[in-house]
């Protein structure tokens, strides 16, 4: 599990890194908002610890900008602010939790564990390799970059990923994605599949979505 710490106070960062590494988390850090946001957007992290008062870009702005690109990675604010208005502002910016400075490391650790528990992670988010599919707001991201799909492309991707590891036949896809239940030329699937692969940046023989000749398609991570 990788955790990004965006915090300008060196002492706090070192204290967090030491504690988290003892708990077998990998850590990375940034000392200002701009570097932190760049790092968060260009790498995969399982969780982000974000200070509120930061040079460059404050925590709220970092959180808002990050959420536009990544709706799912949990963010915990580390903050000396604790008024109701501050809490609301933080949650509205997309944070998942708050911890007030100064804090006990054990408390922070418990909050991190809650956020990383599988049943806390949004159930309506499904993944295929580095592709993250949010089935609630229909946003798709690959390597944290947004991918803009049409409704049918989205439905096709969602169906394949929900059936990950199993070959989906052309007939099955036509019935379940297009809701067509009579004899139909299934080559329409190829048009959507080509466009979907192109938008996701998957070459034709990419492992994530494979063509099973004469049968259908399979979404697979192995």
Q: Which stretch binds Ca ion (CB under 5 A): 49-57, 65-73, 77-85, 104-112?
A: 49-57
Q: Backbone phi, then psi, for 18, in 5-degree steps?
A: -60, -50
CB of 8 to Ca ion, least distance (A): 5
Nearer to Ca ion, 81 or 152 (CB): 81
- 6, β-bridge pairs: 30, 50
Secondary structure E strands in 67-215: 75-79, 97-100, 125-128, 131-134, 139-142, 145-147, 168-169, 209-212
53 is an interface residue for Ca ion by CB under 5 A: yes
The footprint of Ca ion on residues 2-31 (CB under 5 A) is 8
CB of 11 to Ca ion, least distance (A): 11
Rounded CA gap, 163 and 218, in Å? 8
Nearer to Ca ion, 56 or 71 (CB): 56
Q: Which stretch binds Ca ion (CB under 5 A): 44-52, 77-85, 119-127, 130-138?
A: 44-52
Q: Backbone phi, then psi, for 148, in 5-degree steps?
A: -95, 110
Nearer to Ca ion, 51 or 155 (CB): 51
- Yes or no: say if 50 and 62 are a contact pair by the CB < 8 Å rule: yes
Q: Are strands 216-219 and 209-212 parallel, antiparallel or unpaired?
A: antiparallel
Q: Tally Cβ neighbours within 10 Å of residue 94.
A: 16
99 is an interface residue for Ca ion by CB under 5 A: no
Nearer to Ca ion, 7 or 153 (CB): 7
51 is an interface residue for Ca ion by CB under 5 A: yes
- Yes or no: say if 40 and 6 are a contact pair by the CB < 8 Å rule: yes
54's tokens: 């930061």
Q: How many residues bind Ca ion (CB under 5 A)?
A: 3
If you compute the radius of gyration of the chain from its CA atoms, what whole number of angstroms results?
21
Q: Which stretch binds Ca ion (CB under 5 A): 48-56, 74-82, 110-118, 200-208?
A: 48-56
Nearer to Ca ion, 25 or 77 (CB): 77
Nearer to Ca ion, 27 or 139 (CB): 27
Q: Which residues bind Ca ion (CB under 5 A)?
A: 8, 51, 53
């Amino acid at each position: 599990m990788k955790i990004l710490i965006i915090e300008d106070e060196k002492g706090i960062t070192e204290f967090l890194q030491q504690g988290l590494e003892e708990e077998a988390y990998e850590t990375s850090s940034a000392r200002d908002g701009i570097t932190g946001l760049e790092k968060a957007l260009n790498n995969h992290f399982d969780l982000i610890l974000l200070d509120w008062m930061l040079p460059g870009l404050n925590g709220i702005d970092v959180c808002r900008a990050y959420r536009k690109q990544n709706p799912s990675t949990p963010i915990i604010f580390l903050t000396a602010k604790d008024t109701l208005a501050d809490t609301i502002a933080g949650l509205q910016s997309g944070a998942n939790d708050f911890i007030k400075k100064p804090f006990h490391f054990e408390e922070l650790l418990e909050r991190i564990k809650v956020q990383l528990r599988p049943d806390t992670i949004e159930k309506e988010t499904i993944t295929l390799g580095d592709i993250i599919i949010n089935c609630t707001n229909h946003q798709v991201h690959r390597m944290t970059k947004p991918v803009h799909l049409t409704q049918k492309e989205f439905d096709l991707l969602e169906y394949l990923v929900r059936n990950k590891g199993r070959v989906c036949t052309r007939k099955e896809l036509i019935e379940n994605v297009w809701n067509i239940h009579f004899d139909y030329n299934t080559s329409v699937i190829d048009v959507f599949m080509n466009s979907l692969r192109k938008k996701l940046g998957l070459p034709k023989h990419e492992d994530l979505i494979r063509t099973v000749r004469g049968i259908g398609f399979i979404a697979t991570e192995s």
